[in-house]
């Protein structure tokens, strides 16, 4: 990277909302399905059909706005964005132009090493999605050379959130970290599935460069067609390098839209600013203005869950959990909430994190049951951690217990009590086991005395076995060593 | 007098009490349609089979004891309203073969009340016009003088009702498209408050102005149709969720206690001596019925036409974008999708529609939006404010419904003189107010062969439909202008 320049990056996301029905009609909102099976006169833009707004979609947008600390204006409205496109049934999109549902706000995100960053939002607004075109007869599905096109309107009218960031990101890695945080937050809010591979999250990036330290903005390009977070990072870095090379050679950046070519790892020009549409926005006359009541907004605010960024900060700064583990814990909202409940009744957050991300997540993967939905209650896991911390059981027993708890065995303390599994920490009792083992294996003892110190592990194992696993392993080690050296 | 000349109220009463069956009324109407349609041309599609099926269903419902307000009443549906399974053209080539896959709420409510749809009535293409001459699919003639236009854009519905081809007509009014043909065809043409009747299934021209309403031979019939259609619809977000006071049973005997506003800026002297005399007589009749006449002022109403011809085209330019040949209606193939759009729209739309799409596209385009669209919206607010101030001084406003009686075909060939036809009806549309035209006399136009009807416009505050219809009923009963002459149908019967 060239240190003389810095990149200025803004990200624009489109997120399909997870509502029961589409934005302006009663059709079911679900991914996939046979083409043109989730349609009606309204989402087909039939002559005479009218839109009726989906209250749930409006609430989800307001909740997202509140989660990012955006202002929810008392007055908002829908507008028509006019342009011709075959997969847009009305040849206009109902969107929001100058009075979005949410203004401003901040996305808190963190880098891989745990450093917290912030990126301000310009706005969040609500609009409807388009259908999907398939181009046929050309062999490669592209429009060039195709003899006809087919349109699937199942997606037409699905509620879409547009979320625009300020140009405050400085690298592809920051853009991805921002997107990750946005994704985790929307998931925690239940706003969307946020799956890039299913198209429920789509994003474009605006990229410009300027001399490091300059306050002015350079000419920007808009990058489209990025299909994964990985491609977002690569596309931004490639575009940054391209622009730096042009400027370094005394060239000039052209304001344009560029497409990301995943295969060749470059962006290519799609259309210039001169070809930009005049969308002729005007207020949607088929809908009345949106005037969310203060009471409704406050109800939504009160119902906000703990957000991933809040969790992450608490885990790393208060609980001392490492960035990688903390990130894993906030990744799934239900897992983070489960972990919080464990920590609420245990003093050992690190151990809780180890169990949740280790044994429990492994069991969850094996059985297909989410940790939070498993038979292991947070209280019982805390109890187990307590038993380990108090050296009442050792880690081997703990592992076994956890597997049984997963199968519904209930309270670990009760099992320990019932089955006498408590760790033996009485040196006298352990010494007796040691005595027994050493006298049973005189040849091994002889080997040790002849200098083969690695046989000690075998002897320790035999003592643990004799104690049925209950002996405190540290004490066993110590006593075996003392006995052998005596 | 033939049975089909009876009022909708009388027909519904007879069918309800099983004096006549809906099937008999329908058959008689269809036979009459067949005999006069060749001369009148009110319908683009006559729904003979479907009408008989509907009538049979109505008779069955009557036998089952249902009290249907419009039992067996033959109705003409303007061809910009969807009726499931029927061709719905908007008078345009672009929808010439389009079959609606669903039924408009207002139509469904009329059918629910027992009305029988006789046919889809002609109209100016996409309801843009004031004479029906902009229909691309047929010519409709005024039943009172077949050399003259029936008015527009709901001219087919008006002609059908005037020629007894239906007892009720469904029209839509954007700038005067119910009231003006009502006046031209000796009918009551009633546009309710914007938001009273669902627009779901009405093919949009200008969404913020379009309003469905009835055309009828009596005020009572108009009130019956209004009662059937009015009310909140969950499918139309702009309908108003407030109770509708039944208007049919609450018609006034006189106008005592009402102050009627005469609009200073709408002096009928400007319309020539004959019309001036008619309107002055009408105002005197209102006074004789007990109304107190007061002068009110609508200083910005003169900007109504200019304002309307920015807002309505702006909305239409967007509303009509969907007619692109992709999924329904006409398609003219092209080399690529863009040329298909261009060729389809060039071939499918008529000149007036194209003109308005161009005006509207320009008014919304970047750099002109503030000067045209935003300014027009501000003017609209001022006009509505004028009415609000006027209604602080009066209960109703009375004024002309049109600036002349029905004219001959081709008489208004330049668009602007046609636009001025709606000079008196546009301001109410911009303000969303309920207004109607009611027959107020006859005059023989210059060069005309026979006297033609003239309409008085009455306008009420928002949601005061009951008051408006009640007052119109009192005026109608006291004057009886509509009964003075009959349409000239005898000579044309096939
Ligand atoms: Zn739908």
pLDDT tens for chain A, 486 residues long, are 456 899 999 999 999 999 999 999 999 999 889 999 999 999 999 999 999 999 999 999 999 999 999 999 999 999 999 999 999 999 999 999 999 999 999 999 999 999 999 999 999 999 999 999 988 877 676 777 778 889 999 999 999 999 999 999 999 999 999 999 999 999 999 999 999 988 999 999 999 999 998 999 999 999 999 999 999 999 999 999 999 999 999 999 999 999 999 999 999 998 877 667 899 999 999 999 999 999 999 999 999 999 999 999 999 999 999 999 999 999 988 899 999 999 999 989 999 999 999 999 999 999 999 999 999 999 999 999 999 998 888 888 899 999 999 999 999 999 988 888 887 778 888 888 888 898 899 888 888 888 888 888 898 898 888 888 888 888 888 888 888 887
pTM higher than the cut 0.90:
yes
Cα-to-centroid distance, A173 and ligand 1 (Å): 39
Of A44, A45, A285, the CB nearest to B207: A285
A contact residues 426-455, partner B, Cβ 8 Å cutoff: none
Question: Is-catalytic flag, B412?
Answer: no
B contact residues 370-409, partner A, Cβ 8 Å cutoff: 373
Record: contact A282-B200, CB cut-off 8 A: no
Ligand 1 ion: Cβ-proximal residues, 5 Å cutoff: A 25, 27, 40, 42-43
Cβ of residue B249 closer than 8 Å to a chain A Cβ: no
Q: What is the DSSP letter of B243?
A: P
Domain ranges of chain B: 3-254+470-483
Question: Is-catalytic flag, B78?
Answer: yes
Chain A hits for B80, Cβ within 8 Å: 48
d(C-alpha A300, C-alpha A298), whole Å: 5
Please state the separation of Cα A14 from the chain's center in Å: 16
Q: What is the pLDDT of residue A453?
A: 81
d(C-alpha B61, C-alpha B225), whole Å: 19
CA atoms within 13 A on the CB side of B112: 11
Q: Is the bond into B153 cis (omega within 30 degrees of 0)?
A: yes
Cα-to-centroid distance, A290 and ligand 1 (Å): 21
Q: Tell me the three state secondary structure of residue A301.
A: helix
Q: Evaluate whether A119 touches A107 at the Cβ level (below 8 Å).
A: yes
Chain A hits for B237, Cβ within 8 Å: 50-53, 286-288
Record: contact B203-A278, CB cut-off 8 A: no
Min Cα separation B303/chain A (Å): 21
Q: Evaluate whether A71 touches A103 at the Cβ level (below 8 Å).
A: yes
Question: Domains (ranges, CATH) in chain A?
Answer: 5-297 (no CATH), 332-419 (no CATH), 427-485 (1.10.10.410)
Record: contact B234-A286, CB cut-off 8 A: no
Record: contact A46-B88, CB cut-off 8 A: no
Cα-to-centroid distance, B81 and ligand 1 (Å): 20
Record: contact A52-B98, CB cut-off 8 A: no
Cα-to-centroid distance, A188 and ligand 1 (Å): 28
- Of the candidates B400, B399, B391, the one whose C-alpha atom is nearest the C-alpha of residue B467 is B391
Chain B hits for A48, Cβ within 8 Å: 80-82, 88, 100, 104, 199-204
Of B98, B324, B365, the CB nearest to A84: B324
Catalytic residue among B92, B130, B177, B198: B177
Substitution target from B120, B195, B232, B322 for chain A, most A beta carbons within 10 A: B322
Residue B291 in tokens: 């109304």
Of A48, A52, A282, the CB nearest to B237: A52
Domain B3-254+470-483: top CATH class: alpha beta
In this prediction, the answer to ipTM > 0.90 reads: yes
Of B98, B102, B326, the CB nearest to A41: B102
Record: contact A280-B90, CB cut-off 8 A: no
Mean pLDDT per 10-residue section of chain B, whose length is 494 residues: 94 98 98 97 98 98 98 98 98 98 98 98 98 98 97 98 98 98 98 98 98 98 98 97 85 93 95 96 98 98 97 98 95 94 98 98 95 97 98 98 96 89 96 98 95 98 97 97 92 73
Chain A hits for B236, Cβ within 8 Å: 50, 52
Q: What is the pLDDT of residue A424?
A: 79
Cβ of residue B327 closer than 8 Å to a chain A Cβ: yes
Chain A hits for B328, Cβ within 8 Å: 46-47
- Of the candidates B56, B122, B37, B50, the one whose C-alpha atom is nearest the C-alpha of residue B86 is B50
Cα-to-centroid distance, A26 and ligand 1 (Å): 6
Q: Evaluate whether B62 touches B19 at the Cβ level (below 8 Å).
A: no
Record: contact A82-B318, CB cut-off 8 A: yes
Q: Evaluate whether B196 touches B212 at the Cβ level (below 8 Å).
A: no
Cβ of residue A90 closer than 8 Å to a chain B Cβ: yes
Cα-to-centroid distance, A45 and ligand 1 (Å): 9
Min Cα separation A290/chain B (Å): 11
d(C-alpha B311, C-alpha B175), whole Å: 11
Question: Is-catalytic flag, B191?
Answer: no
Q: Evaluate whether B198 touches B239 at the Cβ level (below 8 Å).
A: yes
Catalytic residue among B6, B21, B50, B78: B78
Q: What is the pLDDT of residue A3?
A: 66
Record: contact B369-A280, CB cut-off 8 A: yes
A contact residues 34-53, partner B, Cβ 8 Å cutoff: 41, 44-53
Q: What is the pLDDT of residue B256?
A: 96
Chain B hits for A46, Cβ within 8 Å: 101-102, 328
Min Cα separation A21/chain B (Å): 15
Contacts 24+ apart (CB under 8 A), B451-454: B451/B485, B452/B142, B452/B144, B452/B145, B452/B148, B452/B184, B452/B405, B452/B406, B453/B144, B453/B183, B453/B184, B453/B185, B453/B186, B453/B405, B453/B406, B453/B481, B453/B482, B453/B485, B454/B183, B454/B275, B454/B278, B454/B401, B454/B405
């Amino acid at each position: 990277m060239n240190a003389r320049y810095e990149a200025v990056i803004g990200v624009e996301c489109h997120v399909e909302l997870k509502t029961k029905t589409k934005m302006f009609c009663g059709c079911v909102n679900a991914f996939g399905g046979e083409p043109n099976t989730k349609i009606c006169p309204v989402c087909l833009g039939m002559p005479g059909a009218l839109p009726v707004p989906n209250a749930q979609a409006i609430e989800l947008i307001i909740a997202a706005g509140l989660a990012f600390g955006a202002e929810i204006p008392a007055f908002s409205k829908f507008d028509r964005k006019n342009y011709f496109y075959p997969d847009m049934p009305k040849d206009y999109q109902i969107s929001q132009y100058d009075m979005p549902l949410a203004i401003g706000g901040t996305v808190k995100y963190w880098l891989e090493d745990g450093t917290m960053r912030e990126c301000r939002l310009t706005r969040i607004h609500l609009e409807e999605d388009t259908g999907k075109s398939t181009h046929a007869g050309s062999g490669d599905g592209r429009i060039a050379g195709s003899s006809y096109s087919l349109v699937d309107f199942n997606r037409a009218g699905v509620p879409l959130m547009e979320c625009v960031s300020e140009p405050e990101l400085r690298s592809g890695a920051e853009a991805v970290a921002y997107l990750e945080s946005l994704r985790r937050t929307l998931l925690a809010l239940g706003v969307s599935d946020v799956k890039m591979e299913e198209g429920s999250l789509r994003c474009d990036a605006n990229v410009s460069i300027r001399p490091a330290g300059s306050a002015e903005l350079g000419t920007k390009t808009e990058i489209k067609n990025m299909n994964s977070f990985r491609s977002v990072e690569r596309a931004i870095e490639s575009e940054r390098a391209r622009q730096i090379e042009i400027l370094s050679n005394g060239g000039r950046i052209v304001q344009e839209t560029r497409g990301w070519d995943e295969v060749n790892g470059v962006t290519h020009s799609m259309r210039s600013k001169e070809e930009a549409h005049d969308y002729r926005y005007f207020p949607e006359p088929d809908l009345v203005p949106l005037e969310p009541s203060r009471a409704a907004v406050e109800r939504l605010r009160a119902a906000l869950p703990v957000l991933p960024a809040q969790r992450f900060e608490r885990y790393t700064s208060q609980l001392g959990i490492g960035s990688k583990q903390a990130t894993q814990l906030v990744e799934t909202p239900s897992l983070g909430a489960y972990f919080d409940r464990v920590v609420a009744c245990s003093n050992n957050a690190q151990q809780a994190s180890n169990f949740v991300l280790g044994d429990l997540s492994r069991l969850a993967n094996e059985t297909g049951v989410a940790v939070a939905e498993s038979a292991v209650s947070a209280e019982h896991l805390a109890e187990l951690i307590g038993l380990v911390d108090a050296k009442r059981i050792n880690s081997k027993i703990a592992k076994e217990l956890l597997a049984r708890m997963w199968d519904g065995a209930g309270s670990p303390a009760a099992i320990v009590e019932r089955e006498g599994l408590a760790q033996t920490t009485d040196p006298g009792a352990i010494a007796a086991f040691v005595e027994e083992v050493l006298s049973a294996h005189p040849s091994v003892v002889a080997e040790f005395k002849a200098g083969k110190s690695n046989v000690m592990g075998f002897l320790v194992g035999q003592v643990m076995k004799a104690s049925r696993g209950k002996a405190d392993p540290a004490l066993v080690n110590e006593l075996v060593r003392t006995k052998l050296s005596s | 007098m033939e049975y089909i000349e009876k009022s909708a109220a009388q027909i519904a009463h007879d069918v309800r009490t099983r004096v006549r069956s809906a099937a008999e009324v329908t058959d008689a109407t269809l036979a009459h349609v067949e005999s006069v349609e060749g001369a009148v041309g009110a319908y683009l599609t006559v729904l003979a089979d479907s009408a008989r099926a509907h009538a049979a269903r109505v008779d069955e419902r009557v036998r089952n004891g249902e009290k249907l307000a419009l039992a067996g009443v033959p109705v003409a549906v303007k061809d910009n309203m969807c009726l499931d399974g029927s061709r719905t053209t908007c008078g345009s080539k672009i929808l010439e073969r389009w079959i609606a896959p669903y039924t408009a709420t207002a139509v469904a409510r009329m059918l629910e009340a027992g009305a029988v749809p006789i046919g889809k009535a002609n109209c100016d293409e996409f309801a843009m016009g004031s004479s029906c001459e902009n229909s691309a699919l047929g010519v409709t003639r005024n039943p009172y003088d077949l050399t003259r236009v029936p008015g527009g854009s709901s001219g087919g519905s008006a002609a059908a009702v005037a020629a007894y081809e239906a007892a009720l007509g469904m029209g839509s009014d954007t700038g005067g498209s119910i009231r003006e043909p009502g006046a031209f065809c000796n009918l009551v043409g009633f546009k309710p408050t914007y938001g009273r009747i669902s627009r779901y299934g009405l093919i949009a021209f200008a969404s913020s102005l379009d309003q469905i309403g009835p055309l009828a031979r009596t005020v009572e019939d108009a009130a019956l149709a209004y009662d059937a259609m009015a009310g909140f619809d969950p499918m139309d977000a702009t309908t108003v969720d407030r109770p509708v006071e039944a208007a049919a049973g609450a018609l006034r005997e006189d106008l005592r206690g009402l102050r009627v506003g005469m609009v200073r800026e709408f002096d009928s002297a400007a319309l020539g001596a004959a019309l001036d005399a008619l309107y002055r007589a009408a105002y005197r009749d209102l006074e004789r019925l007990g109304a107190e006449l007061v002068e009110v002022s609508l200083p910005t109403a003169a900007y109504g036409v200019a304002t309307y011809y920015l807002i309505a085209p702006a909305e239409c330019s967007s509303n009509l974008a969907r007619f692109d040949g992709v999924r329904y209606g006409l398609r003219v193939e092209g080399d690529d999708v863009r040329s298909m759009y261009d060729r389809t729209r060039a071939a499918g739309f008529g000149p007036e529609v194209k003109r308005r799409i161009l005006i509207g596209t320009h008014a919304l385009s970047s750099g002109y939006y503030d000067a045209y669209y935003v300014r027009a919206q501000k003017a609209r607010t001022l006009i509505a404010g004028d009415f609000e101030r006027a209604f602080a001084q009066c209960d109703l406003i009375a004024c002309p419904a049109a600036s002349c009686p029905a004219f001959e075909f081709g008489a208004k060939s330049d668009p602007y003189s046609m636009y001025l036809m709606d000079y008196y009806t546009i301001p109410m549309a911009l303000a969303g107010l309920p207004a109607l035209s009611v027959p107020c006399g006859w005059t023989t136009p210059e060069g005309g062969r026979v006297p033609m009807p003239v309409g008085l416009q009455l306008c009420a505050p928002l949601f005061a439909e009951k008051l408006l219809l009640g007052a119109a009923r009192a005026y109608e009963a006291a004057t009886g202008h509509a009964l003075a002459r009959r349409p000239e149908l005898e000579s044309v019967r096939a």
